[in-house]
C-alpha cells in the first residue's frame, strides 16, 4: 500500500472514531411533574426502621443549625 492510501485510511478511521464520540441517544422519557415513577427505593424502606432513623438523627444533629 502506498503512503497516501495509508494516510487516507487512517484519516477516515480517525474521523469515524471522532464522530462516534459525539453521538447522543435521542431517547427521551417524559415523567409527570411532582410524581415519582421509578421503582422501589430501598433507602426509603430503611428510613421506616426506628433504629436506623435514630442513628441518622444522632449523626446529623449538629448539622441542622443551617
From first CA to last CA, the distance across the chain in angstroms is 70
CB 23 within 8 A of CB 17: no
pLDDT at 50: 92
pTM: 0.35
Dist CA 16 CA 8 (whole Å): 12
Q: How confident is the model at residue 11 (pLDDT cuts 50, 70, 90)?
A: very high
Q: What is the dihedral of CA 55, 57, 63, 66, to 10 degrees?
A: 160
pLDDT tens-digit profile of 24-50? Answer: 777 777 888 887 777 888 888 888 899
Question: Between these two residues, 11 and 39, which has the higher pLDDT value?
Answer: 11
Q: How confident is the model at residue 12 (pLDDT cuts 50, 70, 90)?
A: very high
pLDDT at 64: 65
CB 16 within 8 A of CB 22: no
Amino acid at each position: 500500500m502506498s503512503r497516501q492510501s495509508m494516510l487516507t485510511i487512517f484519516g477516515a478511521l480517525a474521523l469515524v472514531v471522532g464522530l462516534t464520540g459525539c453521538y447522543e441517544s435521542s431517547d427521551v422519557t417524559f415523567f409527570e411533574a411532582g410524581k415519582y415513577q421509578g421503582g422501589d427505593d430501598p433507602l426509603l424502606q430503611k428510613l421506616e426502621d426506628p433504629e436506623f432513623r435514630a442513628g441518622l438523627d444522632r449523626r446529623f444533629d449538629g448539622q441542622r443549625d443551617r
